[in-house]
Structures are given as structure tokens and as C-alpha cells.
Structure 1
Amino acid sequence: MDGEAINIKKWIVFYPIYINSKKTIAEGRRITATKACENPTCVEIADSCRYLQLPSAIEIDKAYPRDFMQRGRVRVLLKKEDGTLYNPAIGSRKQLMLQVAELVPRHHGRTKKQEPTPTSTAGPSKSGVGASKAGGKGGRKKK
């Protein structure tokens, strides 16, 4: 156990902001917004890494330096001690970010959350009223 705790410091660091489509490059996003996903969590990233057969560990007590309110990060190991890759398809941080960003929207926790939203009829009708007011403001800006 102690040996693994020391080794984890050499694993790559993966903050959720790296693949968050709601953030800008200046705020810390590291892949294109079109390939990024919306508000990923550490749990979703860690589960995606496990799905990709990569060892990972969540560090909840850590914060992203540019935005200390964003708590948590994931440590991921790409290579074994002998230098071979755990997953031959993922050889770099960038490839890892792109693969995880693709998997997170399909995460089982997300698909469960999204199912009730379209079926509820009260939510869209309320937002429809607010949207008509916002649409009027948008129209004025365009003219």
C-alpha cells in the first residue's frame, strides 16, 4: 500500500476542467470545445479511465490552481513500470482527455439523470415563458 501511495505522485494529473466545454482555454480547458463535454465530475472521469483499463485514483482534497472552488482531480497511470502502455490506444495526456471526454456523456450516472428531464411537462412550459422574454432582448441586439 505504501509503495502505491508513493507511485501515485508520478501518475498524471487530470482535472475535470481540462475537458469541460463550459470553460475557456484561459480558464483551463485543454481540448477543443466541440470535443469536450459539459461539466464532468471526478467520478465520471475515474469510471471512464477504469473502462479504458487504466489505473486511476480520485483526490477529492485537491483543487484546480486557477479556480480553487473546483474541488477534486483524478490521477491516471498510462504506462506500466516496464514502459508498456496499459491501453495501446492511449499514449499521451491529450489522447486520454479526448477519449474520456467522449465517454463521459455516455456515463451511466448521466444517462439516468437526463431521462426524467424530457418527460416532465412542468419544466419546459415554465422555461418557455422565460425564453420569450429573453428572445425579445436577443432580437433588439440583432437590430
Structure 2
Amino acid sequence: MEGELPNIKKWIVLYPVYMNSKMTVAEGRRIGLSKACENPTCAEIGDCCSYLKLPFAIEIDKAYPRDFMQRGRVRVLLKKEDGTLYNTSITSRKSLMLHIAEMVPRHHGRAKKQEPASTSAGTSNNKPGKSGKKKR
């Protein structure tokens, strides 16, 4: 394992934007909207990589070039030094993104986050532009 760290620059890079259903292709999404998941985080992507038994490293100090406010990316190694795959079901960067996007909504930290979003907000009857006073 000691020799792998200098080669981390050769590992593939995954930004959460690549799998975010809230983004357009122009904003950086790389997989189909129907297969993408909502707002994945680097930690969730890392957990999915460890579940798939893939070596990964989270780089928090890096940002996506098209949206530099979005911090963090994940580096993943798909193949061993001899060229064999760590996980035979994942052969490419795209298949990895599709696997992760499928797993993130079922992530153990997700169930709690989704509940508050389902409550309806803004049910007041105020009409904009109308004040209570009448003109005389």
C-alpha cells in the first residue's frame, strides 16, 4: 500500500456534480437525469466506494472548476497495478458513476435528510402587491 499514494494522481476523479440530478449537462452532470441522484456528497460517494471495495481518497480542499463554490472531490482506483479490476462489475468511470448514483439514495445517512424536505411550506394566503388600505 505504501507505493500507491504517489500514484494517486493517476486515480480517476469524481466530483459530486457528475451524479447530481439537480445539475444540467452544461453545469457538469455526466450521467442521464433518470439515473442521477439528488445532491450527493463526497462522504456518501466515499462510503459507496468502500462498499464496492474500491480504494478511494476524498480531497476536501479541491473544487469543481465550473462551480468553485462546490468543494470536494473523490479519487477512486479501478484497477490494480497488474491491470486487474478491484471490482469486476465496475469496468469504467461511467459504470462507477451509475453504480454510485444508484446507491446514494439508499445511503444510511439519507433517510433522515429527506423527511424535512417533504413537508409543504408557504401555505399562507397573502396576495403580493395588495395592501389592506382602500383608496378614497
TM over 0.5: yes
Question: Superposition RMSD on alpha carbons, in Å?
Answer: 2.0
Q: Map of 1:60-99 to 2, 5 A cutoff?
A: 60-99=60-99
Give 1 or 2 for the bigger CA radius of gyration: 2
- Percent identity over the alignment is 73
Using the TM superposition, give the Cα deviation of residue 7 of structure 1 relative to its aligned residue in structure 2, in angstroms: 1.3
Q: Does 1:129 align with 2:123?
A: yes
Look up the SS of the partner of 2:59 in the other structure.
strand
The aligned counterpart of 1:15 is 15
Instruction: Name the structure where helix makes up a greater proportion of residues.
Output: 1
The aligned counterpart of 1:27 is 27
* TM-superposition CA deviations, 1:90-125 (whole Å, max 9, x none): 00000000000000001111113235x38x9xx43x
CA–CA distance in 1 between the matches of 2:82 and 2:7? 14
CA–CA distance in 1 between the matches of 2:37 and 2:80? 28
CA–CA distance in 2 between the matches of 1:112 and 1:83? 40
Q: Letter of the aligned partner of 2:5 in structure 1? A: A
The aligned counterpart of 1:50 is 50
CA–CA distance in 2 between the matches of 1:36 and 1:89? 19
Q: TM-score, normalised to structure 1's length? A: 0.81
The number of aligned residues is 126
Q: Letter of the aligned partner of 1:129 in structure 2? A: T
Q: TM-score, normalised to structure 2's length? A: 0.85
Look up the SS of the partner of 2:123 in the other structure.
helix
Q: 1:67 to 1:87 in 2, by over 3 A?
A: same
Unaligned runs of at least 5 residues, structure 1: 134-143
